[in-house]
Every structure is written in structure tokens, then in C-alpha cells.
Amino acid sequence: MKHVLASPSIERRHLALDALAGRVGEELETLARVSTEIQRAISICKFADATDPNAIRGLQGIDRVTQALEDLGRLMAAVSSEMPRGIQLRALPILSHLRLHELVANLDPEQEKVLLRHEDDGEVMWL
């Protein structure tokens, strides 16, 4: 999956394990915020009255996902700060497992983070 990686020199680069762990923690915290936004959006939808109670209970699992992401984000931040410095990993074997370009950039300490914008205009498409 080499084509996903943004930096052509990534084949020869190394990642500091503590910095990578910190970036993973930050990404988990970002995903927790996104999960909270999804939970809020679902709660204001009008389908709740006509939806099967079992489906509603299933949707409440989003709260569990949010809490787990928050906890894992805090855990990775703590692991990062306690990790010995100087441990290096080869970047290519680590980052080549990722499919999302934004995630590669956000986890690579040598790249700028990609900030996704909320689009106010346009059509909403359910996946």
C-alpha cells in the first residue's frame, strides 16, 4: 500500500515511537469529538419516535464508543509521555498499514496534521 504514503522519502525514514504514540492519542481524541458530534446529530433527528426501541438502544452504543475513544486517547498520551525516548521504528512498515491519507499525515510526526472542515453547503449523502 505504498501509494497511500504522502512522503516519497518515507521508505528511508524512521518514526520516534513516543511521538507516534502521542499522535495516536491525539487522533483518538479527535475521533471521540467526532463521535460526540454524531451522537448529538442523531439525538436531534426526528426519526426517534418512529424507530424500533432496539434500534435506539443500538444507537446508544455510540456513547460507549465515544467514552472508549476518550479513554484510549488519554491512555496513549500517558504512554507517550512515559515511553523511553530514542526508540525508532521504520516508517514504511508502520504507516503502510493505513488506507486513509489524512490518517497517515496525522500520525506521522514529520507531517502537518490534516484538519477536516465541516461543509456547510452541499448535499448530505448517507453511506
Per-residue pLDDT, 78: 95
Using CA atoms, how far apart are residues 72 and 61, in angstroms rounded to an integer? 16
Cβ contact 5:104 at 8 Å = yes
What integer best gives the mean pLDDT of the chain? 82
- Residues of the domain holding 45: 13-107
Name the residue with higher pLDDT: 117 or 42: 42
Question: Which single residue is written with the C-alpha cell 453511506?
Answer: 127
- 124 is a domain residue: no
Per-residue pLDDT, 75: 96
- 5 is a domain residue: no
| pTM for this predicted structure | 0.75
- 77 is a domain residue: yes
Q: How far is CA 121 from CA 11, 43, 97, 117, 118, in A?
A: 39, 21, 33, 11, 9
Using CA atoms, how far apart are residues 97 and 89, in angstroms rounded to an integer? 14
Q: Which helix (H) or strand (E) holds 69?
A: helix 61-82
- 3 is a domain residue: no
- 115 is a domain residue: no
- 49 is a domain residue: yes
Using CA atoms, how far apart are residues 4 and 33, in angstroms rounded to an integer? 25
Name the residue with higher pLDDT: 28 or 60: 28
Domains in the chain: how many in total? 1
* pLDDT tens profile 34-92: 999 988 888 787 765 677 888 878 888 898 999 999 999 999 999 999 999 999 999 98
Using the predicted structure, report yes or no on whether residue 4 has a pLDDT greater than 60: no
